Amino acid sequence: MFLAFVLYPIGYGLWLARHPASYVTLYNDPVFARAALNTLFFLLVGINLKMMVALFLSGFFIQERSWIKWLSVLFILPWAVPSIPTILSVRFMLNPEWGVINHLIFKFSGDDGPNWLNDPVLALSMAILVHIWKSLPFWTLILMTGRLAISQDLFEAADVDGASWWQKFRFITWPSVRTLYLTCTLLSMIWTLGDFNSVYLLTGGGPADLTHVLATLGIRYLRLDQLDLSMAAIVCALPLVLPLVYFMMKRLSR
């Protein structure tokens, strides 16, 4: 089973991407250069923003209040619902003519809303926000477990000493969850590199192929019957993935 469903597809893909001419063609293709830049932007903005917000929300949701527990149920829904209907519903909401978001903008301001998915900057920004919104509950839950593992005696002693919330976070919470936070960040980078749905289902790589990332670029070449370029574009992500996997495994082995 492992040979048939893992080793063979990987080996066949590498065999298709073996020609140096394919990488020369990619290098000269402006769509590939744009996709590489979009991928780096997606990683830098999406991951840092997502993990920082998850760290903040993990402290909010561990509070012992009934309304917060009910709110946490709603908060986890984007992650629990399958990606395809979730992202397609967001795409319908962003429709410039009959989408609910532009309808609300017109209702409260009297102005027509922007064409969200026809502007490459707005479209890529929306894809990043959808990615964050979809995966944020998962990372928040992971960081919540790290916070709950901290002894409450430390916080009680800090309260007695008159420590502020920032001092408690800086000297108690952060040192306790730092390793978990860094591990989650590395794992999130690996998963984000392979995030196909957030971009492809929302923008399709458009407008004019300006919002493609490396995870979606392969399907563009596949539609053009350029299978070798499709696999070469995917292989180009390996220099980003392999170091992350190495550091991830090294950290987990400690």
SS3 content of the chain, % helix, strand, coil (to 5): 75, 0, 25
Looking at residue 6, its pLDDT comes to: 63
Residue with tokens 């929300």: 57
Total-model pTM: 0.88
> How does the average pLDDT of the chain come out, rounded?
86
Looking at residue 251, its pLDDT comes to: 67
Angle in degrees, CA 99, 97, 199, rounded to 5:
60
Mean pLDDT over 145-161 rounds to 90
Q: Is the pLDDT of residue 20 over 90?
A: no
Q: Is the pLDDT of residue 150 over 80?
A: yes
User: What's the CA dihedral at 226, 28, 23, 232 to 10 degrees?
Assistant: -40
Distance CA 232, CA 220 (A): 12
Mean pLDDT over 199-219 rounds to 88
Looking at residue 55, its pLDDT comes to: 95
> Which of 148, 185, 150 has its CA nearest to residue 54?
185
Q: Is the pLDDT of residue 57 over 90?
A: yes
Domains of the chain: 2-252 (1.10.3720.10)
pLDDT band at 163 (very low <50, low <70, confident <90, very high): confident
Mean pLDDT over 200-209 rounds to 88
Distance CA 156, CA 214 (A): 48
Mean pLDDT over 52-73 rounds to 90
Give the chain's length.
254
Provide the terminal-to-terminal Cα distance of the chain, rounded to the nearest Å: 31
240 vs 95, residue with greater confidence: 95
Looking at residue 252, its pLDDT comes to: 65
Mean pLDDT over 199-226 rounds to 87
Determine contact, residues 142/184, Cβ cutoff 8 Å.
yes
